[in-house]
Structure 1
Amino acid sequence: MSRTSSPAAPPSPPPPGQRWLFSARVDIGVFLGSALASLALMAVGAHLGLLSADAPEWTWVTTVLLIDVAHVWTTGFRVYLDRDEMRRRPHLYLLTPLFVWILGVALYSEGPGLFWCVLAYAAVFHFVRQQYGWVALYRARVGERGRLGRWLDTAVIYAATCYPLLYWHANLPRAFAWMLPGDFVSLPALLGVAVAVAEPIYWALMGAYLVRAAASWLGRAGTRNPGKDIVVITTAACWYLGIVGFDSDYAFTVTNVIIHGVPYFALVYWYGRRRLADRRGGRAMRVFAHGPWLFVGLVWAAAYVEELLWHRLVWHERTWLFGASWDDLAWLQVVIVPLLALPQATHYILDGFIWRRRSNPDLPLA
């Protein structure tokens, strides 16, 4: 048999330690651990009768403030405090916030409802794509190249996130909102039919993935991808229970936020440690030399300042945490609201660039 016609040898399986993005302990902790924490909080909420009420203040502080808002500010360490990264793509990093703010002012001037609708859908897209991104990174880490497997992995992670969103849109109003009540477009008659068609497809994809995952665990060790399996299964469980299974503000909050924000903290901290070890990024990377808590404390402080401004200038709520309102500046909301939303909107956009392996040669995730 000639060399050109010989069958290609299957790719060698990676060593067990290289199946994880960070390490077995960290990956299991941030992906499986965050999902188990979400489900445990749901159980606590059911016991305390919180599933039929608005999320309590302690839930807002621990999940929204310290995880959701705070994780947005970690982008600053990935981009704006990294001297070498800023020099690599200055136009992207400097013009994006300016563009986002100008667009925000234009949208808000047409009405607050339009502004919040666009921002909510940008957030939804970001949340969905992040879960797909984890799956893609795990596939690359293990070296999965098969087309059928890629198709099934892509289909199942989008089904795990998009089917609950479709169900949500078909059953508006719900007891919860992504950002503000009314920020989603309501088309119940049309989308009700779509849900009826999508539901059997959803369960078929979930079943196919589980069968394939079970076969990989029962077969050759080289075909296993435990990190990917954790991401897919926990995403499906948390999104389904938080959106479809319960019509509850509390349930949606604890399932939506924790599994999104906690792994992102780990990703940015891990990246910063690698930059520090490679002596790249400049002096700001030294913050990662002091362990995770200095890094977390700094983004917590930034999140608190942001929310203080939101509540004093716009929401006029939670005076017990943020103090009295500044009502005399309410007339500037068309400028202030897009400015305060700038960190999260910039985070949504830049996140689509800064973790792509092809355009980030210094990203050792593959």
Structure 2
Amino acid sequence: MKTHTIRSGQPWLNSALSDGLLILSMPFLSLVLVSFFPDQFKVSSAMPVEYWVVLVVFIDVAHVYSTLYRTYFKAETLQKQHALLVSVPLFCYFFGVLLYHLDSFLFWRVLAYLAVFHFIRQQYGFMRLYSRTENNGKLSRLIDAVTIYTATLYPMLYWHFGEVRNFNWFMADDFVYFPSKALATISLYLYLIVIFVYVLKELNLAIQNRQINIPRNLLIIGTFLSWYFGIIYFNGDMAFTTLNVISHGIPYMALIWFFERNEHQQLIRHRNLMSRLAFGKYGLVFFILVILLLAYLEEGLWDGLVWKEHASVFSFFSSLPQVHDVNILTMLIPLLALPQSTHYVLDGFIWKRR
């Protein structure tokens, strides 16, 4: 991936402006947005349906489909990684059916933990990207890794054995909960120690190098803010979803756009129709519309066949019969969740490079 720097030597992925607007600013803007919420939306499970559509359908679900532009929409990738791109969805579906057959609740619990792993690894991946030009030694890289994982794992530990949360990841009680004040206190002290060590390390590097890695530090600070305030400080579904989804979904879509547009511009011989439409001069509109349409179709099928909760939003699908038969649901639920589970697993492979 061709990347860009500015005179100060900052390791931007695309440019200071686009990185700042679409990746690094998202946690900060989300926190500002939440600060304007009425109090009941900060501490309860309430969420207006219109807001749910924007966050869940048009950001969270849509970002899953942006992966298509890096995988199934690319003829070159399909040819080179055919075995991977065929086997992963087959494995996810088979394993999903098996889990749902054993216990439908177990299916959702495993999917929730897989989602958390994906969200955590994305922050680590961004941190590595913004550290790619540094040569600060193994200890510095270790501190960075421990810090980004701490920023995400401590809030998750709090969710597991701290105060009861008024929200969930997919469904009620999908995380194992075992309250323990001792574990909560120990993890808090470790959390603060890691922050202190990271700050000392950055001060030392700033003195030695006479420069600060701006995007990496903004990424780490934003991760701390979005995960702490989204999960611990606020205790409402609307606040959690805002900080969680916006900080994750929009940067991911931006990364796909930056990376694939750059390849489109460089590898002329590999341009296909989808590439020309999505990454040409005016391709951003097409890029967004496709993933929004796919997200709406998926959620419409969920609502029409399973949930029956948002008929006003998915009126076109409201005539579909709600499925109650356990045997059919065992085959249907993992199928509807397949784009999501495939995205989680594939994302661990499609970004691997030296």
TM-score (norm 1): 0.88
Which residue among 234, 237, 250 is the counterpart of 1:262? Answer: 250
Greater mean deviation of Cα atoms: 212-221 or 195-204: 212-221
Alpha-carbon contact 2:108-2:170 (below 8 Å) kept:
yes
Instruction: Report the counterpart of residue 155 of structure 2 in structure 1.
Output: 164
Alpha-carbon contact 2:41-2:47 (below 8 Å) kept:
yes
Which residue among 69, 88, 106 is the counterpart of 1:96? Answer: 88
Instruction: Report the counterpart of residue 81 of structure 1 in structure 2.
Output: 73
Instruction: Report the counterpart of residue 314 of structure 2 in structure 1.
Output: 322
- 1:50-91 per-position Cα deviation (integer Å, ceiling 9, x unaligned): 213312222211211111100000111110010001111110
Instruction: Report the counterpart of residue 188 of structure 2 in structure 1.
Output: 199
Displacement of 1:161: 0.2
Greater mean deviation of Cα atoms: 321-330 or 252-261: 321-330
Question: Closer, same or farther in 2 for the Cα pair 1:104/1:209, shift >3 Å?
Answer: same
Displacement of 1:157: 0.5
Superposed, 1:180-329 pairs within 5 Å as 180-189=171-180, 192-217=181-206, 220-221=209-210, 223-277=211-265, 278-279=267-268, 280-286=270-276, 287-289=278-280, 290-323=282-315, 324=318, 326-329=320-323
Q: Distance in 2 between matches of 1:17 and 1:296?
A: 31
**CA RMSD of the aligned region, Å?**
1.9
Name structure 1 gaps, 5 residues minimum: 1-12, 359-366
Instruction: Report the counterpart of residue 146 of structure 2 in structure 1.
Output: 155
Alpha-carbon contact 1:55-1:253 (below 8 Å) kept:
no
- 1:134-169 per-position Cα deviation (integer Å, ceiling 9, x unaligned): 1111111x2334111111101110110000000000
Question: Closer, same or farther in 2 for the Cα pair 1:325/1:164, shift >3 Å?
Answer: farther
1:234 is aligned with what amino acid?
G
Instruction: Report the counterpart of residue 4 of structure 1 in structure 2.
Output: none
Displacement of 1:43: 0.9
2:213 is aligned with what amino acid?
N
1:355 is aligned with what amino acid?
W
Alpha-carbon contact 2:11-2:131 (below 8 Å) kept:
no
Displacement of 1:300: 0.4
Which residue among 11, 20, 24 is the counterpart of 1:32? Answer: 24
Displacement of 1:48: 5.8
Q: Distance in 1 between matches of 2:140 and 2:83?
A: 37
Alpha-carbon contact 2:24-2:215 (below 8 Å) kept:
no
Displacement of 1:260: 0.4
Alpha-carbon contact 1:316-1:325 (below 8 Å) kept:
no
2:193 is aligned with what amino acid?
A
Instruction: Report the counterpart of residue 133 of structure 1 in structure 2.
Output: 125
Superposed, 1:105-120 pairs within 5 Å as 105-120=97-112
State the percentage of identical aligned residues.
38
Question: Closer, same or farther in 2 for the Cα pair 1:255/1:196, shift >3 Å?
Answer: same
Q: Distance in 1 between matches of 2:135 and 2:324?
A: 54
2:98 is aligned with what amino acid?
A
Name structure 2 gaps, 5 residues minimum: none
Q: Distance in 2 between matches of 1:31 and 1:74?
A: 15
Report whether the alignment pairs 1:177 with 2:168. yes
Instruction: Report the counterpart of residue 135 of structure 2 in structure 1.
Output: 144
Alpha-carbon contact 1:131-1:157 (below 8 Å) kept:
yes
Question: Closer, same or farther in 2 for the Cα pair 1:219/1:305, shift >3 Å?
Answer: same
Question: Closer, same or farther in 2 for the Cα pair 1:171/1:200, shift >3 Å?
Answer: closer
Instruction: Report the counterpart of residue 339 of structure 2 in structure 1.
Output: 343
Alpha-carbon contact 1:120-1:179 (below 8 Å) kept:
yes
1:284 is aligned with what amino acid?
M
SS in 2 for 1:321: coil
Greater mean deviation of Cα atoms: 59-68 or 233-242: 59-68
SS in 2 for 1:352: helix
1:201 is aligned with what amino acid?
L
Displacement of 1:272: 1.8
